[in-house]
Structure 1
Amino acid sequence: MASSEITLEALPSVSDIPAADWDACANPLTEIPATSCNGASQAYNPFVSHAFFSAAETSGAATIRTGWAPRHLVAKIDERIVGIVPCYLKSHSQGEYVFDRGWADAYERAGGRYYPKLQASVPFTPATGPRLLIRSGEDRAQIGSVLAQGLIALCGVSKASSVHVTFAREEEWELLAEHGFLQRTDQQFHWHNQGFSSFDDFLATLNSRHRKAIKRERRDALGAAGITIHWLTGKDITEDAWDAFFDFYMETGSRKWGRPYLNRKFFSLIGESMAKDVLLVMAKRDGRWIAGAINFIGSDTLFGRNWGAIEHHPFLHFEVCYYQAIDFAIQHRLKVVEAGAQGEHKIARGYLPQTTYSAHFIADRGLRRAIDDYLARERAYVEEAGRELAEAGPFRKSADEPS
């Protein structure tokens, strides 16, 4: 596959790509300042780092055995890596958070074969970030187009039914649409820092009912049971802390989906290579860890991911996952807290709807037409639902509302 002097190849492991080259494409600010397609500053995103993908693959969490066979698409100019799409050939639709099982069922009832499919994403991670990774200083429009065309070609070579680029940035979503990808939207709930200097500053922007409810929840979560909260990052995250957190993760994962996606080795590898990018919010009672949440720290965003507990106390989940994340973001001047997938209950706690974007190339023309029609209706629904949810938010409607 080639376009002018750009060549493409698909590699079967992240370890086949030098970490320095991968990171120069994934997070250009680690090399030199760069701008994205729309002129915005390119922020550091820990999930697209070489270290994160390496931990997922080396631990065995994202491998052919688990249905995640790496097919990372690499663009080169004169043997120099200038672009990458993290990509997997998948035999199922688990661990993606953008649900296409209905499409698979319909296609297979009609006699088609939906799997394997190609998935361009971060395994097990519903967080928006770059999916067309392009080295700074290169022609982003040209290389982005070549990568989009390369994904379609790889779909054919792999005998896959489709390509799914999930939790992409909006500008990538638009570029992929120009190459025949169908556009899908969904929503998450994010908290935005308005330059607050304290949690009380944030509370002052809420209406009286929600402000009082949050104060009560925070008080009840910690006070009665004698629970203390601890922030662990960098060298403070010991293997004992990982052991405790993994117990929490397994407890929640086994209840939600039967077999949690990540294994214990994954967290040790993250601790070795990315500890500075990790925040563990841990709850302790009577000298032992009882609950915790893992967050990843970007240049301007705190990404909330997994949570779990071995003791269950009222409102402890909200405290550990949402309120502590807000506290941390305020103290460290982060602009956004992304609280993960789904959960309209987050609105009452100051997290507002945010559109997420995915792009889908469907090889079969009949299936493509049916999905295209469905997505047009779904996008309209997501837009209207987001508007209604934002209007129902907990914030004061006017400056003269009583505080």
Structure 2
Amino acid sequence: MTASHATARIVESLASVPAEAWDALHDGGNPFVAHAFLAGLETTGCLRPEWGWTPRHLTLWRGGQLVAAAPGYRKTNSHGEFVFDHAWAHAYARHGLEYFPKWLGAVPYSPVTGPRLLAVDDAARRALVEAIREHAAADGMSSAHINFHTAAEDVAFGDDWLSRLDVQYHWRNPGSWRTFDDHLAAMDHKHRKNIRQERRRVVQAGVTFRVRHGDEADEADLDAIYGFYLQTFVEYGNSPALTPAFLRHLATTMPRSLVLILAEHEGDTIAGALCLRGRDTLYGRYWGATRTLPGLHFETCYYRGIEYCLQQGLAHFEPGAQGEHKIARGFLPQFVRSRHWIAEPAFADALRDWCAQETAGVRAYAATLARHSPYRPEGADR
């Protein structure tokens, strides 16, 4: 295929793309699109065909130079995507059509906003979107999807790409907070009091915490955090996708991006949160615990992460998808985005109206949530 004088190639393994060429297409601020992260998923057994993930990365080349790329996958189900299109698949089936396979541009198992259209310039980015659509059509796929792209990438999509919105809950430092007490001081009395009580219960239970980056974690730390990850998935009846080898791969290849928050109690490591760190953002991904103690989840997953951001000068903390309970703890609603190209014209038209109605509902929902902010209006009394 060609797109704007560039040659499009499907890459079935990132090992065939030089890491320096791939990473030259993004600014390095988001760890999830790094070659080391994406290639590690492939080489350590995290992407299994029976779970519907087959790498089909779309790349654009001019001569021998890589000028654009999108991490992409041929999907035979919607497992591990976090942008839910099950109703779309059911509608296709009711009309005797096949929704799968489809092409997905995303980071597997990671509902984290970040660049999805990696490119040397805007022209290459637009050509990449065109090549994605051409590839999906040529392969007879029902659709192509880009999940959790940045707002800045919206301009690369044409009107034939449907837009969807959803809400997550993120913490933002306005720039004036230096300590956790600064953060609390911006809240109203009720929420400030509740958070202090939650934190006090953890201290009174005798729990202490350690933070370890990948190059500071030993084998016992890595084993512990992986054990917590496994336990959480078993409790929810889900199959764990990540492998111990992937965790060790991150600790070796992205040592300062991997952040482990570990809770200790009576000589044992009893809980932990696995996070990744970007240039200005901490991303909470997984957590687990072997003991149930009051406040332990909030302290491990939220408050220790906020403290880490304040200590390290990070402006943002994204603790994961879903969870209205996060609002009371300082995480406010933020929009996340996805784009969708539908091959069947009649379905594309119907889904355009559906997406417009969904977006209106999400915007209204976010406005309602924002009214429950724990932060005081500027100038309000404490």
3-state SS of the aligned residue for 1:200? Answer: helix
Deviation at 1:157, TM superposition (A): 2.6
State the partner residue of 1:303: 283
3-state SS of the aligned residue for 2:141? Answer: coil
Deviation at 1:257, TM superposition (A): 4.1
For 1:101, the aligned partner's letter is H
Where does 1:1-400 land on structure 2 (aligned, <5 Å)?
1-27=1-27, 44-135=29-120, 140-176=121-157, 178=158, 180-195=160-175, 196-224=177-205, 226-400=206-380
State the partner residue of 1:35: none
Does the CA contact (< 8 Å) of 1:95 and 1:261 recur in 2? no
3-state SS of the aligned residue for 1:241? Answer: helix
For structure 2, which runs of at least 5 residues remain unmatched after alignment? none
The 3 A distance-change label for structure 1 pair 87 and 170 is: same
The separation in 2 between residues aligned to 1:66 and 1:98, in whole angstroms, is 16
State the partner residue of 1:33: none
The separation in 2 between residues aligned to 1:188 and 1:283, in whole angstroms, is 26
Deviation at 1:26, TM superposition (A): 2.8
Does the CA contact (< 8 Å) of 1:148 and 1:179 recur in 2? no
Deviation at 1:296, TM superposition (A): 0.8
**Which has the higher mean CA deviation after the structures are superposed, 237-246 or 391-400?**
391-400
For 1:151, the aligned partner's letter is I
Does the CA contact (< 8 Å) of 1:63 and 1:70 recur in 2? no
State the partner residue of 1:37: none
The separation in 2 between residues aligned to 1:331 and 1:322, in whole angstroms, is 14
The separation in 2 between residues aligned to 1:236 and 1:25, in whole angstroms, is 29
Deviation at 1:365, TM superposition (A): 1.3
Report the aligned-residue RMSD.
Answer: 1.3
- For 1:93-148, what per-residue CA distance to the aligned partner results, in whole angstroms no more than 9, with x for missing partners? 0111111111111111211101111110000001000000013xxxx221111111
3-state SS of the aligned residue for 2:287? Answer: strand
Does the CA contact (< 8 Å) of 2:213 and 2:260 recur in 1? yes
3-state SS of the aligned residue for 1:92? Answer: coil
**Which has the higher mean CA deviation after the structures are superposed, 118-127 or 379-388?**
379-388
The separation in 2 between residues aligned to 1:108 and 1:265, in whole angstroms, is 38
3-state SS of the aligned residue for 1:235? Answer: coil
Deviation at 1:4, TM superposition (A): 4.2
3-state SS of the aligned residue for 1:88? Answer: strand
**Which has the higher mean CA deviation after the structures are superposed, 82-91 or 64-73?**
64-73
The separation in 1 between residues aligned to 2:220 and 2:59, in whole angstroms, is 38
The separation in 1 between residues aligned to 2:280 and 2:366, in whole angstroms, is 23
Does the CA contact (< 8 Å) of 1:5 and 1:78 recur in 2? no
Instruction: Normalising by structure 2, report the TM-score.
Output: 0.97
For 1:11, the aligned partner's letter is V
Deviation at 1:237, TM superposition (A): 1.3
Instruction: Normalising by structure 1, report the TM-score.
Output: 0.92
3-state SS of the aligned residue for 1:236? Answer: coil
For 1:170, the aligned partner's letter is A
The separation in 2 between residues aligned to 1:345 and 1:4, in whole angstroms, is 47
Does the CA contact (< 8 Å) of 2:4 and 2:127 recur in 1? no
Does the CA contact (< 8 Å) of 1:113 and 1:161 recur in 2? yes
The separation in 2 between residues aligned to 1:222 and 1:157, in whole angstroms, is 60
